[in-house]
């Protein structure tokens, strides 16, 4: 078994080290595993996996949620939500930082992607905060932390991929992220209030807080992005859309595929209703959705192909037996995996991390008594933390590109929020029902 594991993992690491895309690296490892340890005829399994996944209704969930997010992001909904909240926070010390966190929380429920949430909110909020003399590290760190909520609060694309890989209920996984996401958002807001009180230099006096869009500035499409009334006119339909998607998932009225379809149609209707629809926006939205969705589907196909090899050779079961046979406390084992996930979260996107690690360790974790849905939530949270952890957190470089602030400043600003998220991770480990209470009632 050791030789098999070392060969497959070694090929994976070498392929990724030389710059091979994760999906291709997974496919290469699967092919080598079949050729060395199995019959070449087993290569036909690739076609079976590709066909079954390409024709599966579950594979419609990621593209539809991506389509919903693209419509709302390109339609300027993120800016409207932020402008409305920043006006509502007028006169509160650190109000813009609180508005940024709450805007990320709301947009996360419309997006499903951490980088997209950070980029969409960061484009407007960082500029506004810096212009009102917020410390740049505080401003960028707030957006980096808020952006991570995009993969915790449903619809979450990593949860969909986790459900497909492990054959766990996608609906329950999506709803399991709701309370942890709200908890993290609350922890961020509490930390902002405390830090602003303890260190007034982070921000400005409450009466000097900037009201975003006070001049009713125009965005790049010439659409008004300011004003409380205008913000509410787009934020309220977006809120109704969130309730529609989450409500149909929780009640079981709709499958995840159908709920994603409602979301995509609803997002399109909102853009048309507020008169921001253009053919260029429509074409760009479809093009971006196809690129992202194809990448995710290929990643799932290659990951399931490798999962088949691992299962056929009995590696996952042997690994589970070996870990249990060592007699180590299950929390010690889990802590080691959390460290691994934190490291991988720094180096790759959440979907890649799920496909890369879950086929190997999921059987061991379930055999040790951990709840599959709770595993999905914890693994997603650890990747969230990794995405803003210096020196190579992916979200940090995204914010550097949208704000043009030195990467060292962005990293400095993210560190306090890493500590907050680690506290959230501990809370979820001590009180797992935070993640499991909603799924248990579905």
242 and 114 in one domain? yes
Q: Going residue by residue through the chain, which has 442 residues, state the pLDDT in tens, using 9 for 90 and above.
A: 667 767 877 887 788 778 788 788 888 888 888 888 888 888 888 888 888 877 878 788 888 888 888 888 788 887 788 878 877 777 777 888 899 999 889 888 887 778 778 888 888 888 888 888 888 899 999 999 998 888 898 888 888 888 888 888 888 999 999 999 999 999 999 999 999 888 888 876 554 554 444 443 444 433 344 455 555 666 778 888 888 888 888 888 888 888 888 889 998 998 898 888 899 999 999 998 888 888 878 888 888 888 788 778 776 667 667 766 777 788 888 888 888 888 777 766 777 777 778 877 888 888 888 999 999 999 889 888 888 887 667 778 878 877 778 888 888 889 999 999 999 999 999 999 999 999 998 7
Q: Which pLDDT score is estimated for 205? A: 56
432 and 353 in one domain? yes
Report which of 355, 340, 339 is spatially closest to residue 162, judged by C-alpha positions: 355
Is the residue at 129 inside a domain?
A: yes
392 and 348 in one domain? yes
Q: How far apart are CA 410 and CA 416, in angstroms?
A: 11
Is the residue at 50 inside a domain?
A: no
155 and 29 in one domain? no
Report which of 79, 134, 129, 88 is spatially closest to residue 107, judged by C-alpha positions: 79
Backbone angles phi, psi at 224, to 5 degrees: -60, 130
DSSP string, 10-24: HHHHHHHHTT--HHH
Q: How far apart are CA 394 and CA 115, in angstroms?
A: 8
Query: Residues 236-259, buried b or exposed e (16+ Cβ, 10 A)?
Result: ebbeebbebbbebbbeeebbbbbb
Q: Which pLDDT score is estimated for 212? A: 42
Q: How far apart are CA 16 and CA 349, in angstroms?
A: 13
Q: How far apart are CA 157 and CA 64, in angstroms?
A: 11
159 and 89 in one domain? yes
Question: Alpha carbon of 373 to those of 275, 295, 379: distances in Å?
Answer: 40, 25, 10
The span from the first CA to the last CA of the chain, in angstroms, equals: 40
211 and 90 in one domain? yes
Is the residue at 48 inside a domain?
A: no
303's CB contacts (< 8 A; 6+ apart) are 23, 26, 165, 354, 355, 356, 359
225 and 100 in one domain? yes
Is the residue at 47 inside a domain?
A: no
Q: How far apart are CA 241 and CA 321, in angstroms?
A: 46
Q: How far apart are CA 83 and CA 212, in angstroms?
A: 5
Residues listed for the chain: 442
Is the residue at 313 inside a domain?
A: yes
Q: How far apart are CA 33 and CA 433, in angstroms?
A: 39
Number of separate domains in the chain: 2
Q: What is the pLDDT of residues 396-405, one digit of tens each?
A: 887 887 777 8
49 in Cβ contact with 248 (< 8 Å): no
Is the residue at 52 inside a domain?
A: no
134 and 11 in one domain? no
Tokens of 356: 């890369």
Q: Which pLDDT score is estimated for 218? A: 43
27 in Cβ contact with 305 (< 8 Å): yes
Q: How far apart are CA 72 and CA 279, in angstroms?
A: 15
Is the residue at 28 inside a domain?
A: yes
164 and 235 in one domain? yes
Ordered alpha helix ranges (H), 252-406? 256-273, 279-312, 315-325, 330-347, 350-367, 372-387, 394-403
**Phi and psi based region of residue 389 (left: phi greater than 0; alpha: psi -120 to 50; beta: remaining):** beta
Handedness of CA 359, 362, 364, 367 (dihedral sign): negative
Q: What is the pLDDT of residues 319-378, one digit of tens each?
A: 667 766 777 788 888 888 888 888 777 766 777 777 778 877 888 888 888 999 999 999
81 and 2 in one domain? no
Is the residue at 137 inside a domain?
A: yes
384 and 280 in one domain? yes
State which residues form the domain around 8: 1-40
141 and 29 in one domain? no
Q: Which pLDDT score is estimated for 3? A: 74
Environment class of 57 (CB within 10 Å of its CB; exposed 0-12, middle 13-18, buried 19+): exposed
Provide the 10 A C-beta neighbour count for residue 371.
Answer: 18
270's CB contacts (< 8 A; 6+ apart) are 71, 72, 75, 77, 234, 237, 238, 241
């Amino acid at each position: 078994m050791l030789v098999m594991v070392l060969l497959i993992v070694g090929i994976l690491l070498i392929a990724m080290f030389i710059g091979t895309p994760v999906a291709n690296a997974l496919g290469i490892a699967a092919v080598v595993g079949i050729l060395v340890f199995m019959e070449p005829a087993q290569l036909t399994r690739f076609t079976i996996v590709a066909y079954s996944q390409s024709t599966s209704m579950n594979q419609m969930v990621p593209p539809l949620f991506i389509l919903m997010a693209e419509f709302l992001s390109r339609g300027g909904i993120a800016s409207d939500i932020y402008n409305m909240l920043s006006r509502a926070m007028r006169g509160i010390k650190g109000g813009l930082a609180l508005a940024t966190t709450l805007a990320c929380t709301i947009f996360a429920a419309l997006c499903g992607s951490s980088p997209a949430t950070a980029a969409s909110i960061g484009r407007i909020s960082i500029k506004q905060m810096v212009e009102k003399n917020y410390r740049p590290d505080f401003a960028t760190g707030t957006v980096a932390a808020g952006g991570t909520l995009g993969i915790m609060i449903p619809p979450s694309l990593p949860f969909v991929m986790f459900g497909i890989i492990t054959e766990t209920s996608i609906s329950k996984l999506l709803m399991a992220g709701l309370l942890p996401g709200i908890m993290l958002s609350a922890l961020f807001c509490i930390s902002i209030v405390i830090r602003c009180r303890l260190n007034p230099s982070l921000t400005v006096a409450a009466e000097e807080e900037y009201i975003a869009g006070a001049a009713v500035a125009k965005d790049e499409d010439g659409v008004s992005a300011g004003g409380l009334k205008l913000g509410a006119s787009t934020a309220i339909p977006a809120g109704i859309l969130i309730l529609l998607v989450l409500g149909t998932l929780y009640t079981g009225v709709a499958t995840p595929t159908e709920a994603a379809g409602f979301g995509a149609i609803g997002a399109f209707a909102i853009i048309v209703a507020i008169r921001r629809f253009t053919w260029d926006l429509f074409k760009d939205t479809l093009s971006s959705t196809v690129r992202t969705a194809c990448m995710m589907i290929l990643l799932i196909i290659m990951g399931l192909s490798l999962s088949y090899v691992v299962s056929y050779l009995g590696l996952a079961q042997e690994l589970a037996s070996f870990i249990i046979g060592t007699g180590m406390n299950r929390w010690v084992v889990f802590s080691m995996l959390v460290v691994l996930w934190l490291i991988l979260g720094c180096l790759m996107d959440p979907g890649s991390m799920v496909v890369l690690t879950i086929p190997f360790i999921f059987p061991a974790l379930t055999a040790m008594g951990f709840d599959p849905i709770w595993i999905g939530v914890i693994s997603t949270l650890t990747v969230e933390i990794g995405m803003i952890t210096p020196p190579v957190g992916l979200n940090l470089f995204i914010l550097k590109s949208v704000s043009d602030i030195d990467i060292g400043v962005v990293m400095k600003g993210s560190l306090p929020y890493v500590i907050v998220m680690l506290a959230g991770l501990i809370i979820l480990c001590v009180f797992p029902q935070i993640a499991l209470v909603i799924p248990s009632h579905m």
